[in-house]
Amino acid sequence: MALLDICNVNITYDKKNIVSDVSLSIDEGQILGIVGKSGCGKSTLLKAILNILPDNASLTSGEIFYKGQNLNDLSNKAWQEIRGRQISMIFQNAKTSFCPVRTIGQQLYETIAEHSAYTKKEIFAQAIDLFDKIRLQNGEKILNSYPFELSGGTNQRIAIAIAMLLKPKLLLADEPTSALDVVSQMQVIKEMMKLQQIFQTSIILVSHNINLVSRVANKIAIMQEGKIVEYNFTKQIMHNPQHQFTKELLQSIYHL
């Protein structure tokens, strides 16, 4: 059984179709890349998985199954159990999504304590241990820092570590590196892969950068104007693309 099965999903904003008939699935421990241009509906699809679509959006048809359970049927209480602990999400720009006037430690503690029974001391010890694993040195100092005191790349790595501290089965990563320079991009992706190996987390990695995604994903879905136009193993997509849009995305790598 797939960990997550997205079946014929349609999503509208203000009754206008944005995501059309999308079907995808991801197995345990796998990495699925979703690649497409800005505005094609990638973030909307991730938000639908986590049931955090804004009020003017609606999942008009289709189903999403997590471990065989239809997510459309879940109560608010069941969602609280799933969000964070089972399915976690990281966003494009951690620096702006962290609160600027509270330390990293305070924010990390609040996020983790909401979903676990550990004490503050235990949570900080786990965080410092995990920071260490991804070579974020001086964990204690980081916990006492404010987001603006740290670089964009460091903030992003911290956000990934916080998401991973709950050991989710599935991580939804929405353009986790697009706000970073090229060197930091690769570093963040490497750290994410290290954590993925430690925890065997499945990841849906959304990006407009097919080159980056192809380095880590087992399968890639190519999205254009709300539709999946090609979906296959990474090797097939990279060496034997079928759809014109995939070919264009690949050509753009060589013309950078």
Ligand X SMILES: Nc1ncnc2c1ncn2[C@@H]1O[C@H](COP(=O)(O)OP(=O)(O)OP(=O)(O)O)[C@@H](O)[C@H]1O
If binding is defined by CB under 6 A, does position 96 make contact with ligand X?
no
Q: Which of 2, 7, 17, 18 binds ligand X (CB under 6 A)?
A: 18
If binding is defined by CB under 6 A, does position 147 make contact with ligand X?
no
Least distance (Å) between residue 204 CB and ligand X: 12
If binding is defined by CB under 6 A, does position 35 make contact with ligand X?
no
Least distance (Å) between residue 104 CB and ligand X: 25
Least distance (Å) between residue 41 CB and ligand X: 4
Residue 156: which residues within 8 A CB-CB, separation 6 or more? 90, 93, 94, 95, 176, 177, 179, 180, 184, 188
Residues 175-194, mask of contacts with ligand X (x by CB under 6 A): x-------------------
If binding is defined by CB under 6 A, does position 38 make contact with ligand X?
yes
If binding is defined by CB under 6 A, does position 107 make contact with ligand X?
no
Q: Kindly indicate which of the ranges 35-43, 75-83, 149-157, 235-243 contains the residues binding ligand X, using the contact rule CB under 6 A.
A: 35-43
Least distance (Å) between residue 81 CB and ligand X: 26
Q: Which of 4, 22, 30, 41 binds ligand X (CB under 6 A)?
A: 41
Phi-psi region of 71 (alpha: psi -120 to 50; beta: other; left: phi over 0): alpha
Q: How far apart are CA 234 and CA 31, in angstroms?
A: 10
If binding is defined by CB under 6 A, does position 36 make contact with ligand X?
yes
Least distance (Å) between residue 27 CB and ligand X: 24
Q: Which of 2, 7, 10, 13 binds ligand X (CB under 6 A)?
A: 13
Task: Identify which of residues 128 and 229 has a Cβ nearer to ligand X in the complex.
Answer: 229
Q: Which of 43, 51, 58, 232 binds ligand X (CB under 6 A)?
A: 43
Q: Return the residues of window 50-79 that contact ligand X according to CB under 6 A.
A: 54, 56
Least distance (Å) between residue 114 CB and ligand X: 25
Q: Kindly indicate which of the ranges 37-45, 75-83, 101-109, 111-119 contains the residues binding ligand X, using the contact rule CB under 6 A.
A: 37-45
Task: Identify which of residues 17 and 184 has a Cβ nearer to ligand X in the complex.
Answer: 17
Residue 176: which residues within 8 A CB-CB, separation 6 or more? 90, 91, 92, 156, 159, 160, 188, 189, 192, 205
Site for ligand X, rule CB under 6 A: 13-14, 18, 36, 38-44, 54, 56, 175, 208
